[in-house]
């Protein structure tokens, strides 16, 4: 893999030279159809490309190198000047930055559509290099996003206006897509010549159950658990989910095991619980709950550390099914809501080494241990557990707001200046230096009544956001999961926090509206892990 990466990096300068030639050729062909003003602007761009060619190449190669290093988990030292600069600044995203992001997203899509076959073929060869026989993840460090962001970095080296940079990106899209199609095909040929056998073409005989099957039942459909219960087998002599086999409990993460957080032992047998009742409906409820937990345990979207927590609820949930008929209301019952909420919050903080994620899992495991220790299971216990978990999430959001208090105070003053027409203190790259602003801590207030604006769908979406809401947006060249920390009192500036780091972004209202209109921003909704498990169980019962 390292040899492949170094070989590709040696070829990157030639690719950029070809890209510049392609941009110039594309621009020359467009001149006859332009107005005099457009030709003047394009002439300035072409002249700058010729005179600043080496400087643009340096920016391109440096950005590509940084992205490859990050992909290979070789981050820059924390004490580097670049890292210090990032800690002192807060990104201010305005309409100009979003216009560049929109153009960047167009380039990425153009590359993916033009080189679709070549990318898929190369992915199988690179997967073979890292031993991923299922080709489950794209291990290619030279993805379309990397080259598109490197091109965007090169445009920042142009000593011209933002409009000229956008024109550079616009003219670079088609030549870059065509060049990368050829480059990806050549990379595949070189790997094949080295004797690499693509992972997807191998014939492998694996032990039973060692390979994941395709996720054929990915659906938003959520069956009615009340109706599903009637289709469950009930007699004790019928082979059931855990009858005749001993399934090991999900293994806890190493960190959880070190703290003694995860429980041991296996889930209780269906018969061990059903033995206490002769009612057919109760037995069917227990069998359904048992199968639901089995399906959740096999869901590849549930991380191992979360799976360990869910497994601790398996036995108590089967006992709860004997006492609480409302347990089959999957959208309302606190047990299922607790599981769905836990999975969603861990998905928003995906880094297993994140201290915030560790504290979240530790709190959840402590709550689950208390639930499992209760001899009598009832609905009130799980309402308490859900309230306790929501309280923990609220306190975590409050701590992050307190940490961003100085930023909020500065941004509130900035918002007042913008609406007063006194300009925006922003640099060429859309970066605010917080040290230059008045950083008086602001009170963490609830959002006031939003400013009356147009009735567009994007305005309604933005005015409906509340502190704590999660948003997926294409920001500064990449998709991020961001949490709304603070909406400006006058609805002009919004502060978002990254779900996977301490990074924050201050985004202008116009930029958010442009992103939402261009389908580059949307509110993240909590998916139902329980609903997906119910769909899989229903499919299994129907096929049986």
Burial class (CB in 10 A: 0-12, 13-18, 19+), 453: middle
48 vs 171: CA distance, rounded Å: 14
Residue 215 has pLDDT above 60, yes or no: no
Average pLDDT over residues 246-270: 42
Q: What is the pLDDT of residue 275?
A: 60
**For residue 41, what are the contacts with CB-CB under 8 A and spacing of at least 6?**
163, 164, 167
Please, which pLDDT band fits residue 114 given cuts at 50, 70 and 90?
A: very high
Please, which pLDDT band fits residue 448 given cuts at 50, 70 and 90?
A: very low
Residue 341 has pLDDT above 80, yes or no: yes
Nearest to 263 by CA among 159, 413, 366, 405: 366
Buried b or exposed e, range 192-223, using 16+ CB within 10 angstroms = eeeebebbeeeeeeeeeeeeeeeeeeeeeebb
351 vs 348: CA distance, rounded Å: 9
Least confident stretch, 132-136, 427-431, 502-506: 427-431
Write out pLDDT tens, residues 300-322: 888 888 999 999 998 888 888 88
Residue 118 has pLDDT above 90, yes or no: yes
Q: What is the pLDDT of residue 195?
A: 86
Buried b or exposed e, range 388-414, using 16+ CB within 10 angstroms = ebeebeeebbeeebeebbbbbbbbbeb
Q: Over pLDDT 90: what percentage of the chain?
A: 27
Residue 79 has pLDDT above 70, yes or no: no
Please, which pLDDT band fits residue 267 given cuts at 50, 70 and 90?
A: low
Q: What is the pLDDT of residue 309?
A: 92
Least confident stretch, 67-71, 407-411, 439-443, 465-469: 439-443
Residue 216 has pLDDT above 80, yes or no: no
Q: Over pLDDT 70: what percentage of the chain?
A: 78
Most confident of 327-331, 396-400, 501-505: 396-400
Least confident stretch, 134-138, 277-281, 458-462, 502-506: 277-281
Average pLDDT over residues 206-223: 51
Q: What is the pLDDT of residue 336?
A: 92
- Between 63 and 266, where is the model more confident? 63
Please, which pLDDT band fits residue 382 given cuts at 50, 70 and 90?
A: very high
- Name the H helices within 32-158: 36-51, 53-71, 81-88, 95-114, 116-130, 144-155
DSSP assignments along 306-375, one per residue: HHHHHHHTHHHHHHHTTT-GGGG-TTT-HHHHHHHHHHHHHHHS--TT-HHHHHHHHHHHHHHHHHHH-S
Q: What is the pLDDT of residue 350?
A: 74
Q: What is the pLDDT of residue 203?
A: 58
């Amino acid at each position: 893999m390292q040899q492949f990466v170094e070989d590709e990096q040696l070829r990157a300068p030639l690719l950029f030279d070809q890209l510049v030639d392609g941009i110039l050729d594309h621009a020359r062909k467009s001149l006859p159809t332009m107005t005099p003003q457009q030709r003047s602007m394009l002439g300035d761009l072409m002249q700058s490309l010729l005179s600043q060619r080496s400087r643009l190449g340096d920016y391109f190669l440096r950005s590509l190198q940084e992205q490859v290093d990050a992909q290979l988990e070789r981050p820059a030292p924390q004490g580097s000047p670049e890292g210090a600069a990032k800690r002192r600044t807060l990104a201010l995203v305005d309409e100009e930055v979003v216009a560049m992001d929109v153009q960047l997203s167009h380039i990425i899509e153009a590359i993916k559509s033009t080189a679709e076959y070549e990318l898929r073929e190369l992915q199988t060869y690179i997967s073979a290099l890292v031993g991923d026989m299922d080709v489950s993840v794209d291990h290619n460090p030279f993805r379309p996003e990397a080259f598109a962001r490197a091109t965007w970095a090169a445009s920042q080296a142009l000593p011209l206006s933002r409009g000229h940079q956008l024109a550079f990106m616009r003219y670079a899209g088609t030549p870059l897509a065509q060049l990368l199609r050829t480059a990806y095909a050549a990379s595949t040929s070189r790997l094949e010549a080295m004797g690499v056998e693509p992972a997807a073409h191998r014939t492998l005989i694996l032990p039973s159950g060692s390979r994941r099957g395709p996720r054929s039942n990915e659906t938003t459909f959520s069956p009615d658990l009340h109706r599903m219960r009637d289709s469950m087998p009930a007699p004790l002599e019928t082979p059931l989910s855990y009858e005749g086999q001993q399934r090991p409990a999900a293994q806890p993460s190493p960190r959880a095991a070190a703290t003694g957080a995860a429980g041991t032992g296996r889930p209780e047998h269906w018969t061990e619980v059903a033995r206490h009742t002769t009612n057919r409906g109760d037995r069917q409820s227990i069998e359904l709950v048992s199968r639901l937990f089995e399906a959740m345990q096999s869901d590849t979207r549930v991380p191992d550390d979360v799976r360990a927590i869910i497994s601790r609820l398996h036995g108590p949930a089967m006992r709860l099914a004997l006492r609480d008929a409302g347990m089959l209301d999957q959208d309302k019952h606190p047990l299922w809501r607790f599981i769905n909420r836990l999975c969603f919050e861990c998905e928003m903080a995906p880094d297993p080494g994140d201290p915030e994620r560790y504290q979240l899992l530790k709190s959840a495991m402590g709550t689950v241990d208390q639930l499992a220790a209760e001899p009598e299971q009832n609905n009130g216990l799980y309402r308490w557990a859900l309230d306790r978990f929501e309280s923990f999430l609220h306190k975590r959001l409050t701590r992050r707001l307190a940490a961003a208090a100085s930023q909020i105070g500065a941004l509130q003053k900035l918002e007042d200046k913008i609406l007063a027409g006194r300009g925006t203190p922003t640099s060429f790259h859309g970066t605010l230096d917080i040290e230059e602003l008045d950083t008086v801590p602001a009170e963490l207030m609830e959002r006031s009544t939003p400013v009356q604006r147009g009735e567009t769908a994007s305005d309604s979406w933005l005015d409906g956001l509340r502190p704590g809401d999660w948003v997926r947006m294409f920001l500064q060249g990449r998709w991020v999961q961001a949490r709304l920390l603070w909406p400006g009192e006058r609805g002009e500036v919004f502060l978002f926090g990254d779900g996977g780091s301490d990074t924050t972004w201050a985004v202008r209202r116009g930029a958010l509206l442009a992103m939402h209109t261009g389908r580059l921003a949307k509110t993240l909704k909590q998916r139902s892990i329980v609903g997906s498990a119910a769909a899989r169980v229903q499919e299994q019962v129907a096929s049986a």
